[in-house]
């Protein structure tokens, strides 16, 4: 089987990545730029890097994570389990598990449209002034938002920045996106819904700025990019999915409990 490894880059992660590479090659697998399996060594951030590195191979690639820090939602293998992981990859004793992604379409004044995908979330901010924009759902006006910004998250990303903003935790088997406000302005003059919105896969939210301005858009908290001359930003559940190689049960709600309530025993 062809494989690739994406490492966080610290000394420990690099050593584990090298050790796993040697074990997989000894088992007859091939290091490749067109991998069937991509192993992330680090944490959830490293998994997001692996996703974006191989984003053009979503239909052909399975992801699996080894965590070298705290237990993550995507990285669930321990560094001392490399032999077991090598054996299970070799025997192909895994189950593909797919999670929804968010599609972001950025429409420009010149008529062009840019398309991005995110595994966790897309954030829209305006650091120079208050973000003012109209939100429409299925092309039906919903509200005018005023505040710091908006976070549009996937179910698997709902435990990340979305949760910090007060959004709901959503099981990744639910095909939906969540729109969560960042410090919205609510007073006698300006009002927003003031609660996260969970939209099913056949609904699209359109975000239309009131004035010509420059936005800061970040996808999975990779480097924020500046976008100008934007007419609208449309977000919906993408037709593509990200697929993980699940070698053993690791229930989502157990991950939630162990990450936020109590450490696993």
In tens, the pLDDT along 119-156 reads 999 999 987 889 999 999 999 999 999 999 999 999 99
Are 85 and 247 in contact by the 8 Å Cβ rule? The answer is: yes
Are 158 and 177 in contact by the 8 Å Cβ rule? The answer is: no
CA distances to 20, 40, 80, 217 from 94, rounded to whole Å, are: 18, 16, 19, 36
Annotated binding-site ranges for NAD(+): 44-45, 120-121, 146, 148, 183, 222
Annotated binding-site ranges: 44-45, 120-121, 146, 148, 183, 222
Say which residue the tokens 């062009």 belong to.
112
What is the per-residue pLDDT for 113? 96
Helices (H) and strands (E) in the chain, counts: 5, 16
Strand partners, 96: 245
With DSSP H G I counted as helix, E B as strand and the rest as coil, what are the percentages for the chain, rounded to 5? 20, 40, 35
Q: And the tokens for 149?
A: 């910004």
Q: Could you tell me which residue, 223 or 202, shows the higher pLDDT?
A: 202
Per the prediction, the chain carries an average pLDDT of 93
Whether 227 has a pLDDT exceeding 90, the answer reads no
Residue 64 backbone dihedrals phi, psi, to 5 degrees: -145, 145
145 vs 194: CA distance, rounded Å: 10
Q: Which residues are catalytic?
A: 44
Residue 77: how many other CB atoms lie within 10 Å: 21
Are 179 and 150 in contact by the 8 Å Cβ rule? The answer is: yes
Using the 8-state DSSP alphabet, how is residue 81 labeled?
Answer: G
Whether 228 has a pLDDT exceeding 90, the answer reads no
Pairing relationship of beta strands 30-31 and 2-7 according to DSSP bridges = parallel
Using the 8-state DSSP alphabet, how is residue 223 labeled?
Answer: S
pLDDT tens readout for residues 61-80: 999 999 997 667 888 899 99
């Amino acid at each position: 089987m062809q494989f690739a490894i994406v490492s966080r880059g610290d000394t420990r992660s690099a050593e584990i990545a090298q050790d796993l590479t040697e074990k997989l090659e000894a088992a007859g697998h091939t290091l490749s730029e067109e991998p069937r399996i991509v192993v992330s060594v680090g944490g959830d951030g490293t998994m997001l890097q692996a996703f974006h590195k191989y984003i053009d191979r979503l239909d052909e690639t399975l992801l699996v994570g080894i965590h070298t820090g705290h237990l993550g939602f995507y990285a669930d293998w321990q560094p001392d389990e490399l032999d077991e992981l090598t054996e299970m990859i070799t025997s192909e004793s895994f189950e593909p598990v797919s999670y929804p992604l968010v599609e972001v379409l950025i429409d420009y004044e010149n008529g062009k449209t840019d398309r991005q995908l995110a595994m966790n979330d897309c954030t829209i901010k305006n650091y120079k002034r208050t973000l003012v924009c109209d939100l429409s759902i299925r092309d039906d006006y919903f509200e005018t938002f005023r505040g710091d910004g908006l976070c549009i998250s996937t179910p698997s990303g709902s435990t990340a920045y979305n949760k910090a903003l007060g959004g709901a935790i959503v099981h990744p088997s639910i095909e939906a996106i969540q729109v969560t406000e960042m410090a919205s302005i609510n007073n006698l003059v300006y009002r927003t819904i003031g609660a996260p919105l969970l939209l099913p896969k056949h609904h699209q939210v359109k975000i239309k700025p009131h004035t010509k301005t420059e936005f800061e858009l970040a996808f999975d908290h990779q480097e924020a990019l500046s976008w100008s001359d934007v007419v609208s930003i449309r977000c919906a559940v993408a037709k593509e999915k990200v697929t993980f190689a699940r070698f053993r049960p690791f229930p989502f709600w157990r991950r939630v409990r162990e990450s936020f309530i109590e450490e696993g025993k």
